Amino acid sequence: MSSQDIPEENLPSEQDAAGHTLQKTADEHPFADPGLPPHEHRVQDVDERAAKSSERTVALLFTISMLATIGFIASYVAFPVEKIVYIWPIGHISALNFALGVTLGIALFCIGAGAVHWARTLMSDVEIVDERHAIEAEPEVRAKVMSDFAAGAEESGFGRRKLIRNTMFGAMALVPLSGVILLRDLGPLPEDKLRHTRWARGKMLVNMNTHEPLRPEDVAVGSLTFAMPEGMSEHDHDFQTEIAKAALMIVRIQPEDIKDKRELEWSHEGIVAYSKICTHVGCPISLYEQQTHHALCPCHQSTFDLSDGARVIFGPAGHALPQLRIGVNEEGYLEALGDFEEPVGPSFWERG
Ligand code: FES
């Protein structure tokens, strides 16, 4: 556009000494504001049938989004994780991942495309010129903003075009379901599994090194013995899971050296059995100092006094090691007199 094409009213002006406005000519201001071109109405603004067609298109996009979200959930249920398919040009790919990606992509794209099409074809198309002004807003300006917002909501047809509004609500309500469904990948809830171990009344204490049931005479004063419940095998599929809760630490202390009354009652001739799993973050405790009866966790140096209820005397562990009540069966082997009475391991398990 040349300066010759600029409307006269858009050319900058100056004032003479008497305050009269002097309009400059186009030749004097070749870079003047060209102004806005004439506004052209969209076909939807002048043709109600075209507006209806756009409305149906927007509703169709939101509906496709809803169907894609349902497809996402159905894919999650229908496709096994191990199923592999060939898709050109990607090649071999997990059917589940492909289906989840495609359906979620379509669901999100259709919401975006529907919103854009709605804004471009049906929402208000009035061009507004706003002069620059100070940033701070006066109360009346804020009031005007609110009234403009209300007018905008009215012009968008949000309340009037119920088909679009309802399908959009449906699409946006269903899309978050995709994220909720994916929570299943976190695995089953632990329920009360963390509160129970393989220990039960009558289960013999088996030496973890020799795999032989322990007799009281096998536990010497000052020694540290590790034990597991009878019936467990390292070949069991859940051995690591179960031993992580059931592993025991057995020491013999002179009964008169045991300070805690309950500990003495739950012991057998000074033999005490405590969980081997540290109550800080679950490391296996492996160090024992026979003079002081202190057990030390090598991870962060939590120290437990095994002669005093295994209370924490140093380090970050939150509470004492759980004790297992033990006795001797008719054959003379050490046995459990029940399960632990509190959860073993880190204290956060207790909050489950
Ligand atoms: S795990 Fe034992 S002190 Fe941290």
Give 53-92 pLDDT, tens digit per residue. 999 999 999 999 999 999 999 999 999 988 899 988 888 9
Tell me which residue has its CA closest to atom 4 in ligand 1: 300
Cα 59–65–68 angle (5° rounding)? 140
Using DSSP, state whether 344 is helix, strand or coil.
coil
- State the distance from the centre of ligand 1 to the C-alpha of 213, rounded, in angstroms: 29
For residue 6, how far is its CA from the centre of ligand 1 (angstroms)?
79
- Mean pLDDT value across the chain: 87
Q: Which of the four pLDDT bands, split at 50, 70 and 90, describes residue 241?
A: confident
| Phi-psi label, residue 223: left if phi above 0, alpha if psi -120 to 50, beta otherwise | beta
pLDDT confidence of residue 155: 83
- pTM check: above 0.85: no
- Best of 274, 279, 294, 302 to mutate for ligand 1, by most ligand atoms within 8 A of CB? 302
**Band of the pLDDT at 348, cuts 50, 70, 90?**
low
124 pLDDT band, cuts 50/70/90, is: confident
Residue 352 has a pLDDT of: 44
Query: Can you say whether the dihedral through the CA atoms of 228, 234, 235, 236 is positive or negative?
Result: positive
User: Distance between CA atoms of 187 and 184, rounded to whole angstroms?
Assistant: 6
Distance 282 CA to ligand 1 centre (A): 6
Mutate which of 249, 275, 285, 300 to test ligand 1's pocket (most atoms within 8 Å of Cβ)? 300
Q: Which residues are CB-neighbours of 249 under 8 A, at least 6 positions away? A: 224, 225, 226, 273, 274, 275, 276, 285, 288, 295, 321
The fold of 193-351 is Rieske Iron-sulfur Protein (2.102.10)
For residue 297, the ligand 1 atom closest to its alpha carbon is: 2
Least confident of 22-31, 39-48, 198-207, 251-260: 22-31
Burial of 342 (0-12, 13-18, 19+ CB in 10 A): middle
Q: What pLDDT shows up at residue 20?
A: 52
Sheet of 294-296: strand order equals: 287-289, 294-296, 303-305, 311-314
pLDDT, tens digit (0-9, with 9 covering 90-100), for 286-301: 899 989 999 999 999 9
Q: What is the DSSP string of 320-341?
A: PPPEEPEEE-TTS-EEESSS-S
The span from the CA of 266 to the CA of 323, in Å, is 8
Exposure class string for 288-319: b at 16+ Cβ within 10 A, else e? beeeebbbbbebeebbbbbbbbbbbeeeebee
**Confidence at 3, pLDDT banded by 50, 70, 90:** very low
User: pLDDT grade, residue 180 (50/70/90)?
Assistant: confident
Q: 317 C-alpha to center of ligand 1: Å?
A: 6
pLDDT at 239 over 70: yes
What is the domain partition of the chain in residue ranges? 43-186, 193-351
User: At 60, which amino acid appears?
Assistant: L
